[in-house]
Structure 1
């Protein structure tokens, strides 16, 4: 554990790319050298996680599960087994709006912001024929995973960066870092305070005018994830649909421009932000209001702000 000199601490930050995304890590430390040591440890941890969960790396345990879909159970590390268990639990919670087996979906959409027509129903059904969390079989006694359909795949694109942010936060806390923020392409996890005791603050961007925001929010030992649906979209019958696909139907979703979820863990916030985009604002807020210590802000395509009951509108700052 590092020796902490509260009088000499400053904020240090580094940007880099990992897991196919931009990361930036901010830490409170005594010197640049100490901060570099901490951030180097964080990068090593992200590499370790990527090597474990990435479906793009042929040597990962996730790829081994996918290669053996419909063939046999694969034994995995307890860490990956637990992540898959939690992912299935979120799938059940959201009635399948979140699904790590979405990795097997056929890509039938081109989100080029142009007008298109609906494909036929058979094409839609075929696009998600290998998607279904119910077909992820687990053996808790042996820590084994089996995908029961031959062409199934799992992937952690909708939860992996949040998970990495949580793991890096835990690692740095264990090393004695008193405060910091992990930002994994918008999946943010914070702890402690800035030097002098001020809370970390994050801005929720206004998707209708990205030069502005809906306010600054204090982030105290918590995570926030924003899922934006306004940069990649498609038009069908002059209606705008986002690039986020409902894994149950194969159809693109509509109705929300952005979803921000505050939760104790970035992993949970990550999964729920995607889920709400699929479920829609009303169902999403209803779900969040049932969950302890979880809040959300939803910006609809009409520009309306819908928030869960624990969010105070007067905390927004222009």
Structure 2
């Protein structure tokens, strides 16, 4: 029986998402898509900071509580990945830096005073988290934000679940973070366009993905310009001020989670340090530098 490519678009994690599957039966494809959407909704409900009933909100409410909070196996894996990112980035990738949102308002173009930032910096630092087995004791006034890793983790989770459900060929797209489930028929790769940071109607580059994941990071969605100076939403946890390196980076790796961490860490580094970091990784990547120039070994024809 021949298989057809089935498409399903939906909203999740605050962005447009799409699932593509090769499946002979339309009914079977709908059932598979429904199950995958249920999974991404579960992860969003569990790890969003916008819902009081999420597990992440429960963790953050426990700050300063001497009884701590018990962390389940799935969430422990996120913390372990976050620790790896923290160590690989020399502290630039820090899931405790979300407290800086208390004084930065990118929608209103509000720039905080240095004194405001200095009050928050002591509340940042992954190494300040206290663990006893699977119990987390979050210091008072600190908070956790999985926003830098959970979408990529969800893409990988959906790809794994799809394989368990019998899918042989498919592509998960969660707002520009991709996870491939095999190639297309005849071993054709999935063509993926990378949106141009300065013009969303254009493509910056194209990737060809047959397995693994692809993730992008950039300052183009939530940055602002004030008095001729650009302010990125990507903040340096050491200073509280925006990073000023690359404009965008896209990376391909064996997992979307891995690709996302390399792309985000690159965005947090100084420009030349970022390019060295990406080059030394050996992974395919493309970038836009501060001058708007596009390059990288991941460029596809």
5+ residue gaps, structure 2: none
Query: Hey, what's the Cα distance between the residues in 2 that align with 1:176 and 1:62?
Result: 31
TM-score (norm 1): 0.86
Sort the Cα spacing of 1:79 and 1:19 in 2 relative to 1 into closer, same or farther, 3 A.
Answer: same
Query: Hey, what's the Cα distance between the residues in 2 that align with 1:125 and 1:296?
Result: 35
The residue number in structure 2 matching 1:298 is 287
Query: Hey, what's the Cα distance between the residues in 2 that align with 1:138 and 1:258?
Result: 35
Query: Hey, what's the Cα distance between the residues in 1 that align with 2:54 and 2:145?
Result: 11
C-alpha RMSD of the superposition: 2.3
The residue number in structure 2 matching 1:87 is 82
Query: Hey, what's the Cα distance between the residues in 2 that align with 1:306 and 1:97?
Result: 24
Matched, 1:206 2:192: no
- After TM superposition, the structure 1 stretch with the greater mean CA deviation from structure 2, 253-262 or 31-40, is 253-262
- Is residue 52–residue 80 contact of structure 1 (8 Å, CA) maintained in 2? no
What secondary structure does 1:256 align onto? Answer: coil
Superposition pairs of residues 89-104 of structure 1, within 5 angstroms: 89-104=84-99
The residue number in structure 2 matching 1:263 is 253
Query: Hey, what's the Cα distance between the residues in 1 that align with 2:190 and 2:60?
Result: 40
Aligned residues: 300
The residue number in structure 1 matching 2:243 is 253
The residue number in structure 2 matching 1:143 is 134
5+ residue gaps, structure 1: none
Matched, 1:51 2:40: no
Sort the Cα spacing of 1:128 and 1:27 in 2 relative to 1 into closer, same or farther, 3 A.
Answer: farther
- Is residue 11–residue 194 contact of structure 1 (8 Å, CA) maintained in 2? no
Q: Choose the corresponding residue for 1:180, options 155, 165, 170.
A: 170
- After TM superposition, the structure 1 stretch with the greater mean CA deviation from structure 2, 25-34 or 278-287, is 278-287
- Is residue 167–residue 181 contact of structure 2 (8 Å, CA) maintained in 1? no
Superposition pairs of residues 62-141 of structure 1, within 5 angstroms: 62-72=56-66, 73-111=68-106, 119-139=112-132
